[in-house]
A and B are shown apart, each in its own frame.
Chain A
Amino acid sequence: MDNLNKISVVNINKKYNGQIILEDISFDIKSGEFISILGSSGCGKTTLLKILIGIEKSDTGSILKDGEEITNKKPSERGMGLVFQNYALFPNMNVWNNVAYALKAQRLPKEEIKQRVDDVLAIVGLSEFALKKPGKMSGGQQQRVAIARTLALNPDIILFDEPMAALDADIRMSLRKEIKELQKKLNKTMIYVTHDQEEAFSMSDRIIVMNDNHIVQYDTPNNIYKHPQNDFVKKFVVNHLDEKAKAILDSTK
């Protein structure tokens, strides 16, 4: 069972108004992997995530999860969660209700809702903020609420769309660590979209490097660093890494 791919993306193509946004995108992800999709802004990362979770439809291609075709399933039936860049929390609800809302919509029993919400709030370390409204919290805290909201539905794959972009550099560092620890603790498959090389290289098991609507390299950080596939990867990904990251990569075999 373990060799089965958690996700297989086969030959995705997408155009908006005749303009190519994604071209022949195919890749596999194994269960429990942390994958980054790295690419500059506008190269189609968000569109790819939307297609994965089902809020957009691709023109061609298919998506398989655990070997089963999910291309035509509704977003909420795919067992995936998406964390947005701008949090998109509901300002009129306190933290607890923000997390509980989707569970209530599924008409789960009260006790189960309470159990699950309390659990995920504890996981992201926001138990004592349960009754606060999001408008009064810092960006980092709001993003953790958004993560908790996604976790509450217990998806086995979590997608992140540049979750740190709106955050302070300091908070970015700590949240990066938290997400990584979360992944290890919960053993979820995570797909993490970013345009930040350091983020991708420090967090990922493998990185999908995108440029101009297609995948240019898909490999471990170490391999990408040591054997960049082409000039683009070399120039714009590897050379831009900071010294610390390079030092770490140099020291691994």
Chain B
Amino acid sequence: MKNVLKKTKPSLYLQIGLFIILFIFLILPLIVMLFKVNGNDFGFVFKDNNFYKAIGNSLIYTSIGTIISVVLATIAAYFLSRIQVKGKKWLVILLTLPMLIPTISIGLGVRTLFGVGGFLDQMFGLKFDGLGFFDLIIGSVVFSFPVAFLLIYDAFLYEDRSVYDAANTLGIKRLRTFFGITIPYLKTTLISAFFASFTLIFADYGLPMEVAGKVKTLPMYLYEQVLSSFKYGRGAVISLVLLLPAIVAFVFDVLNKDTSDGTAKKENIAPSKAFNITGLVINIFMAVVLFIPSLAFIVISFVKRFPSDMTFTFENYVNAFSPYSTVSIVDFLINSLVISLFAGIFGTIVAYTAAYTSVRTSGKMAKPLHLISIATLAVPGLVLGIGYVFLFADTTGWFAGTITILIVVNIIHYFSSPYLMAKNAFDKINKNYETVADTLGISHVSLFFKVMVPNTIGTLVQMFSYLFINSMITISAVSFLCTYTTQPLAVSITTYEAQAIWEMESVISSLILLINFGAKIGFDYLSKWLEKLNKGKVETKMELTRNQFSFLTYLDDHNKKPLNQRQIADGITLSLGTTNKILNEFIENDVIIVHKNKTIEITEKGYKLLEPYKVRKAIVIAAGFGSRMAPVTLDTPKPLVKVNGVRIIDTLLDALYAKDITNITIIVGYKKEQFKQLLEKYPTIKFIENPIYNESNNISSMYAAKDIIDRCYICEADLVISNPSVITKYQYSSNYLGAHVSETDDWCFFKKGNYIDRVAVGGEDCWHMIGISYWNEKDSMKLREDIVKVFNSRGGKEKYWDNVPLTICKKDFKIEVRECKKKYVTEIDNFSELIIIDPSYKDYKSKTEF
């Protein structure tokens, strides 16, 4: 018995209801279509030579078009994801522009470019006939490119780039990494992109209508059988063949679920200037080429008679918009807007509700509902259209033949994308809200409207935008279902095509492009704006890369000083290219503001990004006796010994105070009362006593302090710090301070990669260990545990605490060496060294008697 208290019932009913709706409008038409097919139709189609010719033609141009499209999309996406330029967003919009227009319009563009008397003929005397395989391939590449591009670009954005850093340090060339790393990583995505392009081209008939000429394609064959001969049964048989590639693609996608973690990864190596320029040129070139067909029809929409009379005129538009002209498109425009608007509204509502119940309620129909929702992807528009013709034949007047059926078919045809958008949005929302609502006595309905909707408002707008734009351009799903009075704009192009009135086709194509472009930009903007409005300013949980971190902390250190990129690059030892890239990213994301006088200011948001790396406190170990410093230490604990008039520990405390690190805890033991004098100068310090300092090693001091270890410096108290910049306000990762030495007989580190591999006493070409370390949150917690573990183990009390993370529990930690010069921090080892530095101790006599 499961959970009778949870309101499973209403959500189950909702799921069943939605499932039934989708079943009626997606599956049922297909089933009815199957049953309507009779032996005669089968016999005819499978005996018809034209059928096999059409399949052959379709396979040839679809395969070639798909391959070219995927290759070009891969190249474009590869470069665009890696180059560092401003305005990438606009390049993406340009590269995907063909998604905003009907394929028939692309056909129109291609035909008027390559055709007899077309632009290439007029300008260069190049004569193609503008019809046939060549044009089919060009056109299909243009309209399938954006789909492939978006899929691949997305995969590139989420790719983990650290492997390339590694490859780069090993000196492996870009081209090699492209084939060795990139392509294998992309395998699934590439196959998906291949299938997506293939099904798109294979089932499209807008383009062939314009440019196929004598090359009959499968959708055209279907179209002829249905619309010219009214043989719907044969249409159904052909539909089954059209359905095949889409089903293969669908099954592949369902089996290969996206496994990326959904966070964009950043590359650490900056691309070279040459790479940047090459990439930019390639992308701009592709965007331009993709735009040329659109440019062609835009131009034609402004000429008197193409191609014979190329004088400029507004007449076409005037005629199109005067309600009484023979070529008036006003009614079609209204039809289109009404269809798109309502498909947008209702499609969004249904997809949103379906996603909500399948993600966030415990109804048992969640899985089937999800599957049927994404299954809409697998049914080409033409097939769906034929299915509707069969299923709704008897509803003429009240459903078939009305605008409503067009709205419905568009919703179903484009259902899966908005559904998935909503599903992703709901997946990201806190899983506990429903439970919270139950305990607070808030109904789930209220929760839905007051919490779910406001927090996904941006997605809602995007869903609407998607449905609207696609309903504006589709022909395939609606062409069998519309009448002359319900005909939408895109379908009306086919009417003018039949009459070869290219100017009007161009006017309509341009108009659709204009409307959809406006819709796309407008809705994108609206969605961002609403999202911001709702969350207060959106909290970006951007994590800083190490380079970004260095950049930002460098700015913090040089606050209010004019800086140029070169200075910053030198200051943080990065290439100018990387520095510039970070600078631009930061400006774009409001992390910094560059003022006119060249000073750079970190914004509130910038400081928020730094916050996780802020050093919270310092723990200073000062419990020991300092035997080698006798006789001074007989009277005074070593940290309090004055060297040239300054207490040793003051050099550290001053450096900490200078960086606003005032949460300081000193672990005291030997002559602990004397440390109280520090409070005068450093009122914020606290003390913890190590009661067993004289019977154990320094691990006992850390044990006494273990509960406060958290994002802190752990410092020895007897270091003389001559350069206070070794203490910084922020730290990127856990580390020890170290100075490179060619030889030492003191404690030192050996590194493996960036991390400390082992510690030793004495060594060559190694890192002299300086007793100032930093521990980030994760490592702090581990250090607490490990200190306790070791301390409580046998002989644990005799250990140096540093050996806990560096040797005994090494596998738990990854600790870096933070480099500094040896002279910045000195340790006075014994009394004779002290006398050399401060000769006033020469005649020192202890006041304490043995």
Q: Are these two chains actual partners, yes or no?
A: yes
Number of chain A residues whose Cβ lies closer than 8 Å to a Cβ of chain B: 40
When C-beta atoms are compared, the residue in chain B nearest to A106 turns out to be B441
> Is the C-beta of B272 less than 8 angstroms from some C-beta in chain A?
no
- Contact with A75, one of B1, B439, B777 (Cβ below 8 angstroms): B439
| Residues B441 and A56 in contact, CB atoms below 8 Å apart | no
Bound complex: CA of A149 vs CA of B455, how far in Å? 19
> Is the C-beta of A27 less than 8 angstroms from some C-beta in chain B?
no
> Is the C-beta of B848 less than 8 angstroms from some C-beta in chain A?
no
When C-beta atoms are compared, the residue in chain A nearest to B455 turns out to be A92
Q: Which of B611-664 contact A (CB under 8 A)?
A: 616
Bound complex: CA of A81 vs CA of B435, how far in Å? 11
Contacts of A74 in B (CB 8 A): 5, 438, 441
When C-beta atoms are compared, the residue in chain B nearest to A80 turns out to be B439
When C-beta atoms are compared, the residue in chain B nearest to A76 turns out to be B441
> Is the C-beta of B671 less than 8 angstroms from some C-beta in chain A?
no
Contacts of B534 in A (CB 8 A): 91-92
> Is the C-beta of A88 less than 8 angstroms from some C-beta in chain B?
yes
Interface of B is mostly: helix
Bound complex: CA of A59 vs CA of B439, how far in Å? 20
Contacts of B432 in A (CB 8 A): 84, 86, 88
When C-beta atoms are compared, the residue in chain A nearest to B538 turns out to be A135
Contacts of A53 in B (CB 8 A): 439
Chain A, residues 77-107, CB within 8 Å of chain B (1/0): the string is 1001110101010111110000001100110
Bound complex: CA of A86 vs CA of B429, how far in Å? 12
Query: A133-B535, A135-B539 are contacts. A55–B435 as well, Cβ < 8 Å?
Result: yes
> Is the C-beta of B793 less than 8 angstroms from some C-beta in chain A?
no
- Contact with A88, one of B430, B443, B708 (Cβ below 8 angstroms): B430
When C-beta atoms are compared, the residue in chain B nearest to A153 turns out to be B440
| Residues A92 and B441 in contact, CB atoms below 8 Å apart | no
Bound complex: CA of A111 vs CA of B28, how far in Å? 56
Bound complex: CA of A55 vs CA of B441, how far in Å? 12
Bound complex: CA of A150 vs CA of B436, how far in Å? 10
Query: A86-B432, A153-B440 are contacts. A136–B710 as well, Cβ < 8 Å?
Result: no
Shortest distance between the CB of B447 and any CB in chain A (Å) = 9
Bound complex: CA of A57 vs CA of B439, how far in Å? 14
Bound complex: CA of A244 vs CA of B788, how far in Å? 14
Bound complex: CA of A55 vs CA of B446, how far in Å? 18
Query: A84-B432, A88-B430, A101-B450 are contacts. A168–B710 as well, Cβ < 8 Å?
Result: yes
Chain B, residues 765-801, CB within 8 Å of chain A (1/0): the string is 0000000000001001000000000000000000000
**Chain B, interface residues (CB within 8 Å), range:** 35 or more
Contacts of A76 in B (CB 8 A): 438-441
Contacts of A102 in B (CB 8 A): 440-442
Contacts of B542 in A (CB 8 A): none
Contacts of B3 in A (CB 8 A): 56-57
Contacts of B163 in A (CB 8 A): none
| Residues B535 and A92 in contact, CB atoms below 8 Å apart | yes
> Is the C-beta of B304 less than 8 angstroms from some C-beta in chain A?
no
Contacts of A93 in B (CB 8 A): 450-451
> Is the C-beta of B6 less than 8 angstroms from some C-beta in chain A?
yes
Contacts of A106 in B (CB 8 A): 441
Contacts of B165 in A (CB 8 A): none
Chain B, residues 1-44, CB within 8 Å of chain A (1/0): the string is 10111100000000000000000000000000000000000000
Shortest distance between the CB of B572 and any CB in chain A (Å) = 28
Chain B, residues 532-545, CB within 8 Å of chain A (1/0): the string is 00111111000000
| Residues B5 and A75 in contact, CB atoms below 8 Å apart | yes
| Residues A55 and B442 in contact, CB atoms below 8 Å apart | no
Chain B CB within 10 Å, residue with most, of A81, A92, A198: A92
> Is the C-beta of A169 less than 8 angstroms from some C-beta in chain B?
yes
Bound complex: CA of A76 vs CA of B451, how far in Å? 19
Bound complex: CA of A169 vs CA of B777, how far in Å? 10
Chosen A-B contacts, 10 in total, with CB atoms closer than 8 Å, are: A53-B439, A55-B435, A57-B4, A81-B440, A84-B432, A88-B433, A88-B435, A101-B442, A101-B450, A105-B441
- Give 20 A-B pairs besides A55-B5, A169-B780 with Cβ atoms closer than 8 angstroms: A55-B435, A56-B3, A75-B438, A81-B439, A82-B439, A84-B435, A86-B432, A90-B433, A90-B455, A91-B534, A102-B442, A105-B440, A105-B441, A133-B536, A135-B538, A136-B536, A150-B440, A153-B440, A168-B616, A168-B710
Taking beta carbons and an 8 Å cutoff, which residues of A are in contact with B? 50, 53-57, 59, 74-77, 80-82, 84, 86, 88, 90-94, 101-102, 105-106, 132-133, 135-136, 149-150, 153, 168-170, 198, 242-244
